[in-house]
Amino acid sequence: MKITNNNEKINSFICAGLVSKPNDASLIPYYNTIKIALNKHKVKLLVDNDSAKNLNCDGIDFDKMCQESDLLISLGGDGTLISLCRRSFSYNKPVLGIYAGQLGFLTDIKTNEIEDFIDCFFDGEYRIDKRMLLEISLHVGSCVKKIVAFNDAVFARKNTVSMSTIDAFIDGQMINSYRGDGLIVSTPTGSTAYNISAGGPVVFPLTEALILTPICPHSLTQRPLVLPVDFEIEFKSKDDILIVIDGQDKYKMRDFDNIVIKIANKSAKLIHSLKRNYFEVLRNKLNWGNM
């Protein structure tokens, strides 16, 4: 089985940038452990201004931190890592997730493994997985606002009383008219997020595919749809619908003429331990095989 689709290694590592979960002072001891472990290998650690306020340390502007760093570190849960990957998208830096959250599908280095993993990292015992991202283009007139999504873009009805109707097109041809509570457009990585709760498929995260999953559809014949990555999908609706990006950003669909979703031109680069096994993560997190 091919575990990774990327043989890339980091050639030079003299500086790392760190972002932590907001408003969580309990992470200070782990920040200190990371700093000491990196200092052992003569690596400088920068912390963005917002995180520095919680960690009682000196901070630096986020963009400057990204520019100067060879890799970025997320200290928190999956949400912290997703936010970091999205904010640092244009810099294309590898991201290491250190797990101090609730779920941990993406962040596989536990806080008690920090020192050992950093030593292994400098021995070359790690891999970098490339995870595809979505590019969401919000069109109004001649203006286009582009946003990247790590997990998903969710079209959700704002009015809980009435159904929503969302029309989807490829190359100008309608592929479906989704009637119900909404629609999820997911990456393979995001298949284990909202997508799985709505009955969508679990897709191996290195697969290249787009996943469309209806939310509580009005018809029993509506089913999740998996599409090739080179498709661009256009969405239109006259209803009062919110577009929620990775659960972090919200937009009103009525404010735009149409929405186009395709694969972003760059991938997120996640640093993982060689010991990480995706199927073991699924068994542990989803209790597969347990009675």
Sorted by where each starts, the structural domains of the chain and their CATH numbers stand as 15-132+267-286 (3.40.50.10330), 134-263 (2.60.200.30)
**This prediction's pTM:** 0.92
Instruction: Please write the tens of the pLDDT for every residue from 164-185.
Output: 999 999 999 999 999 999 999 9
What pLDDT score was predicted for residue 291?
A: 55
Q: What's the Cα-to-Cα distance from 135 to each of 14, 23, 131, 227, rounded to whole Å?
A: 31, 29, 13, 15
The verdict on whether 78 is a catalytic residue reads yes
Q: What is the pLDDT of residue 103?
A: 58
Mean pLDDT for the chain overall: 93
Distance CA 106, CA 122 (A): 21
* pLDDT at res. 3: 54
Catalytic residue among 24, 50, 61, 78: 78
pLDDT value for 5: 54
Which pLDDT does position 2 carry in this prediction? 53
Longest dimension (CA), the chain: 60
Please state the rounded mean pLDDT for residues 183-196: 96
pLDDT at 4: 56
Question: For residue 254, what pLDDT band results from cuts at 50, 70 and 90?
Answer: very high
SS (H, E, C) the chain: CCCCCCCCCCCCCCEEEEEECCCCHHHHHHHHHHHHHHHCCCCEEEEEHHHHHHHCCCCECHHHHHHHCCEEEEEECHHHHHHHHHHCHHHCCCEEEEECCCCCCCCCEEHHHHHHHHHHHHCCCEEEEEECCEEEEEEECCEEEEEEECCEEEEEECCCCCCEEEEEEECCEEEEEEEEEEEEEECCHHHHCHHHHCCCCCCCCCCCCEEEEEEEECCCCCCCEEECCCCCEEEECCCCEEEEECCCEEEEHHHCCEEEEEECCCCEEEEEECCCCHHHHHHHHHCCCCC
Mean pLDDT, residues 221-249: 95
Question: Per-residue pLDDT for 1 more than 50?
Answer: no
* pLDDT single digits (tens) 105-149: 888 899 999 999 999 999 999 999 999 999 999 999 999 999 999
pLDDT tens-digit readout, 66-107: 999 999 999 999 999 999 999 999 999 999 999 986 657 888
Report the 10 Å Cβ neighbour count for 30.
Answer: 19
Distance CA 252, CA 255 (A): 6
Type of residue at 106: L
The model's pLDDT over 17-45, given as tens digits with 9 standing for 90+, comes to 999 999 999 999 999 999 999 999 999 99
Contact 105, 242 (CB under 8 A): no
- 8 Å CB contact between 226 and 203: yes
203's CB contacts (< 8 A; 6+ apart) are 188, 191, 209, 211, 226
Higher pLDDT, 63 or 275: 63
Residue 276 pLDDT? 83
Q: Which is nearest to 248 in space by CA: 22, 64, 60?
A: 22
Residue 114 is predicted with a pLDDT of: 95
